[in-house]
Amino acid sequence: MYSDKVMEHFMNPRNVGEIENADGVGQVGNAKCGDIMKMYLKIEDETIVDVKFKTFGCGSAIASSSMATEMIKGKTISEAMNLSNKAVAQALDGLPPVKMHCSVLAEQAIKAALYDYSKKYNKTIEGLEDFN
Ligand code: FES
Ligand code: FES
């Protein structure tokens, strides 16, 4: 049912934890199952220099957050904005159809953290104008 990559990221998730004085923090919940994901970003010169997450959720949600954090680390804000949940699922060699919504959490948590950053530093991020 689960790819080796999903299992591997579930067993050894990358970037778990919190960032003190993070530049952006985003928390989202999955309406379907009540799971919660929290994402912390450290941003310098429009680049995500560090990212950590905490996920209270299923294995697919944990694997998705782990993969998503790996995919945006060192990337620019606009590159992170372009990360879709489909790309995360693809990088994990797929998720079972009923688990696709778990990867949506990761995409949403990143956007929520970027939104928080944009508010904190009074910046406009294209695509987040009416995020809430
Ligand atoms: Fe909540 Fe997946 S249904 S953990
Ligand atoms: Fe709830 Fe995966 S996040 S089932």
Q: Are 102 and 65 in contact (CB under 8 A)?
A: no
Q: Select which of 51, 102, 106, 110 is catalytic.
A: 102
> By alpha-carbon position, which residue is closest to atom 4 of ligand 1?
58
27 phi and psi angles, rounded to 5 deg:
-125, 130
Known active-site residue 58: no
The token pair that represents 117 in the structure block? 């950053």
Cα separations in angstroms, 20 against 29, 37, 40, 88, 95: 22, 17, 9, 26, 32
Q: What is the mean pLDDT of each run of 10 residues along the chain (132 residues)?
A: 96 97 95 88 97 95 97 98 97 96 94 97 90 74
Full set of structural domains in the chain with CATH: 4-120 (3.90.1010.10)
Q: Are 53 and 41 in contact (CB under 8 A)?
A: no
pLDDT computed for residue 132 by the predictor:
67
pLDDT computed for residue 63 by the predictor:
98
Structure ipTM: 0.72
The token pair that represents 121 in the structure block? 């530093």
Pocket probe mutation, ligand 2, options 38, 101, 103, 108, max atoms within 8 Å of Cβ: 101
